Structure 1
Amino acid sequence: MEFVTTGDGSKTLFNEQIGECYHSKHGAVQESKHVFINAGLDYYMQKNAVSNLAILEVGFGTGLNFTQTLAYLSDQASTIEVDYVGIEGYPLPLEVIQEMGYGAFVSEENWKNYISGYNQALTEKIQINGQTNLSINHTLLMDFDSAINFDVVYFDAFAAIHQPEMWSDEALAHVAKFIKPGGVFVTYAITGNLKRSMKALGFTIEKVPGAPGKREMLRATKI
C-alpha cells in the first residue's frame, strides 16, 4: 500500500495488487461528499422523514465515507439513529486507518471512538456516539447476509476493469435484495451494463453529474 495525496489535499491509498487508488486522485474527500453524501445520503434524507436510518457500504476500505457520514450528520445536528454497516473482504490495519488523517473531518470524540473500536467493529456492532452504530463485515460480498434492509447503499468497489466480479449481475442482485423499497443506491460509476442491471432489478435510474474527473455517476432508487 502507498499513501497518495489527492487534488484536494486529502489522502488515499494506492493498492498495488489491484492497480488502483481507493479514491479519486482529483480529491478523495470531495468525491466522497459528492457521490455518497450529497447524491446519496442527503438526497434520501431530503425526500424522506426518517427517525432511523440504515446505511450499507460495499467496500468500506479506509472508512472515508463513514467519517464523511458522521460529519454530515453532525452538520445537520441530526438526532436520528443510524446503523452503518460496511462490507470489506480485506480490512486495512488500524495503523493505516489512523494514518489517513480523516480525524480532521469529525469531532475528536467520534474519531477517538472510531479508532478505538475499529478492530472490534470487524466482529461486532459498536457504538460511535449516542446516535450512530458501526459494524464492518469482514467478508466477501457474496457471503454477506443481513437481517435488516437498508435505506441507502454506498457502492464503492474498485472499478470494474480491476474487479469485474463486484459489478456482475449476480453481485448487484445480491446487494439489491437488501435495499428497502424507496431505498437509494449510489456509485461513482455509470455504464450501460450497470444501468441495464439495475433497471432489471426493479430500480429507476438517474444520471447524476459526476465528481471531478468523471462526467456522470449513477443513482438508482428501488421501486
Structure 2
Amino acid sequence: MDFVVTADGSSTLYHAEVGEHYHSKHGALQESKHVFVHSGLAHYIEKENTDSISILEVGFGTGLNFLQSADYSINERLKLHYCGIEAYPLTADIIFGTGYDNYVVPTVWTAFKDKYVDALTKSVHFTDGIDWHVAHCKVLEFKSDQLFDVIYFDAFAAIHQPEMWTDETLAHVCQYLRVGGVFVTYAITGNLKRSMKALGFKIEKAPGAPGKREMLRAVKL
C-alpha cells in the first residue's frame, strides 16, 4: 500500500486491490472531521444534550475517524464507547506510519500505539472515559449485544465495493443503531436514500466535505 498526501496536507493510503483511497483526496483530515466528527458525533451530542456516546464504525481502515473522535471526546470531556468493524486490519507498521499523530493530542496517539494490537481481539480501556474495540470480521458477521448512538459508515465507494452498500448490509448494520440514533456517511445517492427510508430512517441532506456538495445523515425513527 502506498501513502498519498491529500489536498489538506494529511495522508491517506491507496488500496490497489480495491482501486480506491481510504479517504478523500480533497482532504483526509477535513473529511473525517466534517462527515463523521462534526456531522455525526457532535451533532448527536448537541441533539440529545448528553455527555456520553457510543459509536459503531463500518470500515475502521487507518483509524483516522477513531483518532479524531477520541481527540474530540477528550477535549469536550465526553465518555466514548467506540467499536470499529474491519475485515482486513492494517498492520501496526502501516497504521503507525500515517502521520496522524500530528492531528491529535499526544495521549491519544500514545494510547493508540500501545493498544491497537490488543483492540483487534478485545475491548480495551483507551484513556479515561474511552473504551475501544476493532471487530476483526466481515460486516455481515458482526454481532453485538449493544445498541449504538451513531454509525459512521465509511466503506469504500459503491463503485468499488458494491457489496457494502446493499440493502442486506445496511439492514444488518442498522439493527445495531438505537431509535433516535444517527447514521452518517460521505456518500449520497438515490439508491442509498431509498434504502435508508425503507429501513425506517428520516433522511437529511447535509453539506458535504470538500469535493462533495452533499452527504447523507439519517435518523432512525
User: TM range, normalised to the smaller chain?
Assistant: over 0.9
Question: Any residues of structure 2 matched to 1:1-223 within 5 Å, and which?
Answer: 1-76=1-76, 78=77, 80-223=78-221
- 1:214 and 1:32 map into 2 onto residues whose CA distance is 13
- 2-structure distance, mates of 1:15, 1:64: 16
Distance in 1 separating the partners of 2:108 and 2:214 = 32
Gaps of 5+ in 2: none
Task: Tell me how far apart the structure 1 counterparts of residues 209 and 107 of structure 2 sit (CA, whole Å).
Answer: 30
- Letter matched to residue 131 of structure 2: N
Deviation at 1:73, TM superposition (A): 1.5
Unmatched segments (≥5 aa) in structure 1: none
- Report how far residue 51 of structure 1 moved: 4.2
- Looking at structure 2, the residues matched to 150 and 7 of structure 1 have their Cα atoms a distance apart, in angstroms, of 32
Residue type matched to 1:36 in 2?
Answer: F
Give 4+ residue runs of structure 1 displaced > 4 Å after superposition: none
Q: Provide the TM-score with structure 2 as the length reference.
A: 0.98
C-alpha RMSD of matched pairs (Å): 0.9
Counterpart of 2:61, as a letter, is: G
Structure 2 CA distance for aligned equivalents of residues 66 and 134 of structure 1: 9
**C-alpha separation between the residues in 2 aligned to 1:51 and 1:208?**
23
Rounded Cα–Cα distance in structure 1 between residues aligned with 2:132 and 2:74? 16
1:142-172 CA distances to partner (integer Å, 9 max, x unpaired)? 0000010000110000000000000000000
Output the CA distance in 2 between the equivalents of 1:75 and 1:8.
22
Q: Match of 1:4, as an amino acid?
A: V
The amino acid that maps onto 1:207 is K
Corresponding residue pairs, total: 221
TM-score (norm 1): 0.97
Secondary structure of 2:80's aligned partner: strand
The one-letter code matched in structure 2 to 1:53 is I
